[in-house]
Chains A and B, each alone.
Chain A
Amino acid sequence: MTLHSGYVSIGILLICGCNNPRVQPDSRVQNQIFVAVPDNAGIHFTHTNGMTGRLYIAELMGAGAGWLDYDRDGDLDLFLVQGRMLGNHEQSELLVDWQGDPPCDRLFRNELVPSGHLDFVDVTQESGILGLEYGMGVAVGDYDRNGFPDLYVTNLGNNRLWRNNGDGTFHDATPVALVNDSRWSTAAIFFDYDRDQYLDLFVCNYAEFNANFEKECATPQGTLDYCGPLSFASITDRLFHNNGDGTFEDVTGSSGIASAYGRGLGVIASDLNDDGWLDLYVANDSSANQLWINQGGHRFEDNALMAGCAYNGSGKAEGSMGIEIGDIDGDGQDDLFVTHFVNETNTLYRGKGKGLFEDATDFVNLATASRSLTGFGCAFIDVDNDGDLDLLVANGAVKIKWDQQTKGEIYPLKEPNQLFRNNAGQFEVIKTEPELNKWAVSRAVAMADADNDGDIDVLITESNGPTKLLLNHSQLNWVGFTLLDKQNIEVYGARLTLCLGDGTKLTRCVRVDGSYLSSHDPRVNIGITGRTLSSAYLMVNWPDGGLEKFEGPFIERTYIRVQKGSGIDSH
């Protein structure tokens, strides 16, 4: 989020929600949590997957979205990843033609600050970003520590590192930084695995794929369909170490990351075994997931099998797509959630501490509702600001649905999204959300407080369809935090616990990664409806291993900046 000079250890950054200009829902939607925004708040973006009827697997997979305050004006801007033609085809062969200019990645500036109106303006051209590849995902992070967030865009083909110049423009730093990967990359994250303060880069790669040598696959009914992941050989993910001078070094081999891999689609970084070093959890499509335990900042070892999160509770590898982390039951342990293919369940791996997990999907009532759908993006969001993490899952099939096909759907993969309310660790589907119940081929979920009102809004991308911004109008009571290091640079990978006077402890991960191909709001919002912040204090586990206590008083309905070193060191 925005970084201001004249910094104090804990300061009020943003304004109260009650004064916040926002889009008011009409009376018909008063009982809904999420509402569509008129004109989509200016986000006019339709993803194209370049489909020609040839049924390439790659056209199923995109694309992602990233929230970032690229101009540091205090509101979150939006980067959207675009597809294009695939294979040797003419534009005339497209089943859904694009209008106007050829499709490319887009940057939208949020005009909320200072205009007071939530409105996004397409600033792609003036930003200097020219993303013409077949895009997949985006990672956000200030890799050069100049205070402005940069972008790493993954593609089916060459990836791009867009360095933020700090003046509203970006330039392509890929050749200098040496972070290209020309294979099929999907999710990527910036994280500091060796605690040198410089964000390193992890890139998931999916599979060997060449649209010019595509395979043909058929359904059990004998008709043509998209090939599944097992039709393509998996390839290694990559880890790039940030040298701190604008360049990176590929340490995939020496770090041990090359020793195990699948068809990677999702990744999160968190200290999953509580040893003070950021670990990685990688979601792979139709093969074992990896839990890369950081061995002191030099090497990683995959411990997913013993940790109990490589396979589901029956020991089966699932078609993992999206990934999410959060403490859903308030026990202080991070839980992992992974979305999966139809006929599998989405899986909730409950954290047992010390880096161990157990499949608790049935236990938290998440199995049945997901069996008939294919999940992609996902986000733990406290949608009603009641202090526990609810769950949003974006769904969209990857195998042709014959009933849609025979009704003339050109892209017959539509499914409804799902919102689950967390009731004391048990999830139940909220069926009263018309915007989420609309059938679409949804992919990414990127969450952010786009209108700075203190509740979390969501952006949902569609494969070959329009991107939608849904505003949350729960508000109620909340408090937000932005974590900064001693040089005022945003920190990812910390874990904070808000300890309330009544003994309640609310733990949250500070991160932008997860979901599917996306990057979230780096701020942490904690719902405190029905609670008070009097006598509250904050415990922060910094990603470098330090534990720090921050005393209040904290002001409700505000974003509070928390700077490392300004609290009470608990070590």
Chain B
Amino acid sequence: MSAHILGFRKAQELTVIDPASVAATSCAAEPRLAIFCLCLSLMFWQIACQSVTMQDVDHPSYDRLEQATIDIIEGIKQNLDDPAKQDPYQLGFHYSELGRWYYSLEFDQAALTCFRNKRQLADDYGSAYYEGRIAHTLGDLPACIKAMIDCLEMYPSYLPASVFLSQAYRESGELMKAQSVLDEVDDQGAAILYERALIAQRQGDPNKVIQFARRALEQEPEANALNYPLGIALRDTGETELAEKYLSARGNRNPQLEDPLMDDIANLQAGNRALAQDALTDVLRGDHSAALEKYRKCIAEEPENARLHRNMAVALKMSGDLESALSSLTISLELEPSHPKTLFNLGTVLSLLGRDEEATVYYQNALQAAPEFTDAAFNLANLLRRQHNYEDSVHWFDHVLKARPGNRDAHMGYIVGLIGLEDWESAENAVQTAILGVPTDPIFKNLSIRLQVAVPDRFQTPTQEVFDEASLLYRSETNLINAETYAMILAAIHRWPEAEALQLDIIKAADTAKKHEILPRLQKNLAAYQAHKHAQIAW
């Protein structure tokens, strides 16, 4: 609070450069809440040597702004207090700085005044550009157009100004002028083509829209903002199916256009992004509650940032709050329809909620949006396997393995899927491929053995080599799986008492380890060994 008052007093202390008169006026200020402070009508003076009139700046004195503004106001004060230091360029610099701060915090009116003051003191293309952008936001198209023309006079090749000027002309219905602005630009990049498409849309010429939008998309396929106008134009030319495809793929990503001036503003706004980055770090180190707190703050500031909603959903999911995660993802999807990561996350959350059918659809949609999205393919394959849809499951595991031949779980899923389909030959081949792909994992050797001795109707008396391999596996790593396989081998070569004894030990160990889900299978095989039969496992 004291900082605000300090700022106010400093504003009041501003003195006059002779011979101009200064009326330092202040808005009536009655703070209702402590967090908000005063409206300070900051400055109104003339600088005789310049014969210009500065406009009032309604100074919003919130905490985050205060220190910066105090510094700037101090600079202005010094400039004005000491005649020897009177320097309109320096003063202009301060206005420019102040304007950028205001603009970054979306105090548009205050920013506009600052840039206009700056331009009176020492015009520059940057202030003109900012003035044009803000005037557009405030609905003043003539002012926007004038400022952009000024900007281009000072910096003819500043492409964002050309595009924005064209947009302003287009919005005001001056289509010929909009077009001629673009005609003067050498660049024919996606951003220019997009603007040309929008002019054509305004002219009611869908064929031209299609032409420009397609060319732009060829240059920048990820600029999905083009999809919507293209879709509408295709609809209007009767290409309904194609239209639907493009309309469904609509998005918010405009063609890229380097705009260092707006990047400056974005950098000032980066505080929020830094917070989002911190939140991501929290997620990665498992501090979900810290992450969630940060995400909530970020989202409050940028409620339409789909990525923030998506990342918060991940934090929520990891903290176990699946319903909230689902809500966040739904919002994210509304903001960015067809975003593969959002669709993927929706699949995972729904899957965790046991809503497998819905999850399947989201994974499929994710893959439709991004066919090479391997994680989505893997999860879809797993889900399909759980649903006993082995045929599709195998298809998607195969898809994953093409991208990730060393993925142990994908190999396993693929093999299990083939076994589910009772395609034994393919399963055996898949096991051999897995052994080569993941040579360090003995599970595939284990599987190879089992496929020989535990598949109904395909039983083979194991060779000495197979026996040795199973024995080695069992002795090198005595775990349930290897032990079970060894017991099968013992049974296969008719060493029934040993098989029975080992199986009893396995059952006891499984029981101790609370692996109750495999007990029925183990019991079944024990009964088989006791009846002098071979193992027949349920895969």
Contacts and interface: CB of A to CB of B under 8 A. Distances in A.
Nearest to A352: B236
Contacts of B327: 233
B467 interface: no
A221 B64 CA distance: 7
B244 A230 contact: no
Contacts of B171: 362, 367-368
Interface in A315-344: 315-317, 343
Contact of B106 (A221, A233, A403): A221
Nearest to B29: A406
B188 to A, nearest CB: 21
Interface in A392-445: 402-403, 405-408, 410
B62 A223 contact: yes
Interface string A151-171: 000000000000000000000
A314 B64 contact: no
Interface string B228-251: 110110011000100110011011
A310 to B, nearest CB: 8
B480 interface: no
B536 to A, nearest CB: 47
A552 interface: no
Given A308-B232, A363-B202, A367-B171, A217 B300 contact: yes
A215 to B, nearest CB: 8
Interface string A345-380: 000000010001010001101011111110000000
B27 A406 contact: yes
Contacts of B67: none
A476 B332 CA distance: 53
A372 B138 contact: yes
Contacts of A363: 173, 202
Contacts of A259: none
- Mostly, the B contact residues are helix
A228 B303 contact: yes
B227 interface: yes
Nearest to A231: B303
Contacts of B28: 407-408
B335 interface: yes
Interface in A187-226: 215-224
B243 A306 contact: yes
Interface string B309-330: 1000000000000000001001
A315 B227 contact: yes
A261 to B, nearest CB: 11
Given A217-B300, A363-B173, A368-B141, A308 B235 contact: yes
Contacts of A403: 39, 58, 60, 109
Given A221-B65, A230-B331, A402-B60, A306 B235 contact: yes
A228 B300 CA distance: 8
A311 B244 contact: no
A459 B232 CA distance: 38
B105 A221 contact: yes
Contact of B247 (A227, A306, A316): A306
A236 to B, nearest CB: 13
Contacts of B228: 311, 313-315
B65 A408 contact: no
Nearest to B332: A230
Nearest to B35: A223
Interface in B202-229: 202, 225, 227-229
A356 B137 contact: no
B301 A406 contact: no
**B: contact size bracket:** 35 or more
B229 to A, nearest CB: 7
Contact of B297 (A218, A221, A317): A218
A316 B227 CA distance: 11
B33 interface: yes
A290 interface: no
B173 A405 contact: no
A305 interface: yes
Contact of A220 (B31, B301, B334): B301
B201 interface: yes
Instruction: Name the residue among B37, B232, B250, B297 with the largest chain A CB count within 10 angstroms.
Output: B232
Nearest to A369: B139
B229 A314 contact: yes
Contacts of A313: 198, 201, 228-229, 232
Contacts of A262: 334
A287 interface: yes
B37 to A, nearest CB: 7
Contact of A406 (B60, B240, B304): B60
Contacts of B27: 406-407
A368 B63 contact: no
B245 to A, nearest CB: 11
Interface string A63-82: 00000000000000000000
Given A219-B301, A306-B235, A406-B36, A314 B138 contact: no
A53 interface: yes
Contact of B300 (A216, A288, A305, A362): A216
Given A368-B139, A368-B141, A406-B31, A222 B62 contact: yes
Most B CB atoms within 10 A — which of A53, A228, A358, A406? A406
A356 to B, nearest CB: 7
B478 interface: no
Contacts of B202: 362-363
Contact of B30 (A219, A231, A368, A407): A407
4 tightest CB-CB pairs across the interface, nearest first?
A: A315-B228, A406-B39, A315-B250, A408-B30
Given A314-B198, A368-B139, 8 more contacts: A53-B33, A220-B105, A314-B225, A315-B227, A363-B202, A403-B58, A405-B32, A406-B31
Interface of B: 27-33, 35-39, 58, 60, 62-65, 105-107, 109, 136-141, 170-173, 198, 201-202, 225, 227-229, 231-232, 235-236, 240, 243-244, 247-248, 250-252, 269, 272, 296-297, 299-304, 309, 327, 330-331, 334-335
